[in-house]
């Protein structure tokens, strides 16, 4: 029984959740929200961080300084077309993204959204558990595993699941407090 493969699938679910949480706009400037934004750079979809320097000079501002000024308009268009919900300020040399203060209502919405993301990650972990137990049952049915070994396998897989869900809960709690404490 390969527990490493099951653990790896569960870890991928957790890593995926961390990436999604990094993209959640929590009132602070976080360059990760630009990860999905791509511009058309000489006919190739290119991430902004490959054509410009991205810095965070203040807690609620991101400055994008393209290495080639000719892509400034493309970057601005890509940000407007994306769903990050911030209007770029273009001064001809750099683009500034200023993050507004979050309202209490918006914070509650964000918390609801991240709870749903965390629940989706937990479902993915539970699916990995189910797949692992199905493999163990098949091995037992084929005679490659005894009844006792099947019980041990189920217990070990359940332990991996519990650890992964506890980690998801911890990540959720940290993100929730970050959103609510701003």
Q: Is the pLDDT of residue 12 over 90?
A: yes
Let me know whether 134 and 173 are in one domain.
Answer: yes
Residue 25 pLDDT level (bands cut at 50, 70, 90): low
Containing structural domain, residue 51 = 28-98
Residue 76 pLDDT level (bands cut at 50, 70, 90): confident
Looking at 74, 98, 122, the residue that finishes a domain is 98
Looking at 41, 73, 98, the residue that finishes a domain is 98
Adjacent-strand bridge partners of 44: 41
- Determine what percent of the chain is predicted with pLDDT higher than 90: 36
Let me know whether 169 and 107 are in one domain.
Answer: yes
Positive or negative, the CA dihedral 170, 37, 89, 110 is negative
Other beta carbons within 10 angstroms of residue 135's beta carbon come to 17
Q: What is the pTM of this model?
A: 0.70
The chain-wide mean pLDDT, for the chain, equals: 87
Number of domains in the chain: 2
């Amino acid at each position: 029984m390969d527990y490493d493969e099951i653990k790896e699938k569960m870890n991928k679910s957790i890593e995926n959740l961390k990436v999604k949480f990094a993209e959640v706009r929590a009132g602070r400037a976080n360059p990760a929200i630009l990860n999905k934004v791509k511009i058309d750079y000489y006919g190739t979809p290119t991430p902004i961080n490959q054509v410009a320097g991205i810095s965070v000079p203040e807690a609620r501002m991101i400055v994008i300084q393209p290495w080639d000024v000719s892509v400034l308009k493309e970057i601005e268009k890509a940000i407007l077309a994306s769903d990050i919900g911030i209007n770029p300020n273009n001064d001809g040399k750099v683009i500034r993204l200023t993050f507004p203060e979050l309202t209490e209502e918006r914070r509650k919405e964000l918390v609801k959204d991240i709870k749903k993301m965390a629940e989706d990650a937990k479902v993915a972990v539970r699916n990995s558990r189910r797949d692992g137990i199905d493999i163990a049952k098949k091995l037992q049915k084929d005679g490659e595993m005894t009844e006792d070994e099947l019980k041990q396998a189920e217990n070990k897989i359940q332990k991996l699941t519990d650890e992964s869900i506890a980690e998801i809960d911890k990540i959720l709690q940290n993100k929730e407090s970050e959103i609510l404490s701003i």
